[in-house]
Amino acid sequence: MSMLLALALLGAGTLSTPGEDVQVAVLAHPIEKGTRLERGDFESEARAPAAARGALSAEDASGMEAARNLTAGNIVRRSDLMKPQLVRRGEPVTIRIVSGALVITSSGRALNGGGQGEMVRVVTNTTNRTLDGTIEGSGTVRIAAP
């Protein structure tokens, strides 16, 4: 009985056969941090089910950005990716202050980065005033006024 327990703990009997492998999407080439992934960045490869746990499909990963440098042949997981950064720290932005039907537009600079719908802090170029707003689109931040 203890021999069976020892074999189970060591993993004997859990060797996977090639027929048990599953097809997963792996990177076809290295990806640098901040690069937006596309379907063409992936190829299909057979991996053991345990190694494929948490793997994203090429469709799910498309449009996301690499949160760090990724090497070729690796499985991509959610922790490897982030929302596309529409505003980056230090980049110029268009600030839209909206109050009902009134919209005032100004130029500014982002103090931090983020993706669609995330909060970001910006500073206006004209008054050097710091404002908090929501990212609406690429390079555009909306400030809601009462």
Segment 63-87, tens digit of pLDDT: 899 999 999 999 999 999 988 889 9
Token output for 140: 């555009």
pTM > 0.75? no
139, with CB counted inside 10 A (0-12, 13-18, 19+), is middle
Segment 6-23, tens digit of pLDDT: 444 445 444 445 558 899
Q: Which residues are paired to 132 by β-bridges?
A: 121
Domain 92-144 part of CATH 2.30.30.760: yes
* Predicted pLDDT at 128: 94
For all residues of the chain together, what is the average pLDDT? 86
Pick the CATH number of 17-82 from 3.30.2320.80, 3.40.50.720, 3.40.50.300, 3.90.1210.10: 3.90.1210.10
* Predicted pLDDT at 19: 56
